Amino acid sequence: MALVTEELRAKAEIYHGNDICQEKFKFLFQEMGFPRGLLPLKELVECGYVEETGFVWLKQKSKSEHYFEKIGKNVTYAPEITAYVEKLKITKLTGVKSKELLIWVTVNEIHANGLADGKVVFKTPTGLSRSFPSTAFDEEKQEEEEEKKEEK
């Protein structure tokens, strides 16, 4: 896992608190061509972005899990997630795992064909990849699904 060093922190835009962190990282991901609901993190305490290198980190209060209804996938998010973000590509991703059959698989890269085109590709360190429609990561639809679950 990439450590957020004091040197990185000195070069970064850093934000504290869930609301501002959610707003900033979702805006950044959307600007880079990813759906806003790609990383549905909860209770963010800090986020940072080093513009010159594209390094991003997101810190949550604790590990979280999310079920993407449209693709039938469980994903876990570590308390700290780091990555390098550029247009249509996230590399050196740490802290994200997806459940495939009975095992948790590390996701270390994410590529997009752009929001209009509609595909998001997830890659593992072993070179395996899976692609899904970007609509599976629409933020508004995820919120509606969570509200329906809470009503039951």
- For 11, 38, 113, the CA distances from 77, given in Å and listed in that order, are 25, 12, 23
- What is the model's pTM? 0.84
Selecting from 2.30.240, 2.60.40, 2.40.50, 2.60.60, what CATH number does the domain 6-151 have?
Answer: 2.30.240
Model confidence band, residue 151 (pLDDT cutoffs 50, 70, 90): low
Residue 2, classified by CB atoms within 10 Å of its CB into exposed (0-12), middle (13-18) or buried (19+), is middle
Model confidence band, residue 144 (pLDDT cutoffs 50, 70, 90): very low
Residue-averaged pLDDT of the chain: 88
Model confidence band, residue 116 (pLDDT cutoffs 50, 70, 90): low
String of DSSP letters for 2-47? ----HHHHHHSEEEESHHHHHHHHHHHHHHTT--TTSS---SEEEE
Q: What 3-state class would DSSP assign to 88? A: coil
In one letter, which amino acid is 1? M
- CA atoms within a 13 Å half-sphere pointing along the CA-CB vector of 94: 14
Express each pLDDT in 49-95 by its tens digit.
999 999 999 999 999 999 999 999 999 999 999 999 999 999 999 99
In the block, residue with structure tokens 């993190």: 41
Give CA–CA dist 36/91, Å, rounded. Answer: 17
Q: Which of 51-55, 97-101, 119-123, 134-138 has the lowest mean pLDDT?
A: 134-138
Residue 150 has pLDDT above 90, yes or no: no
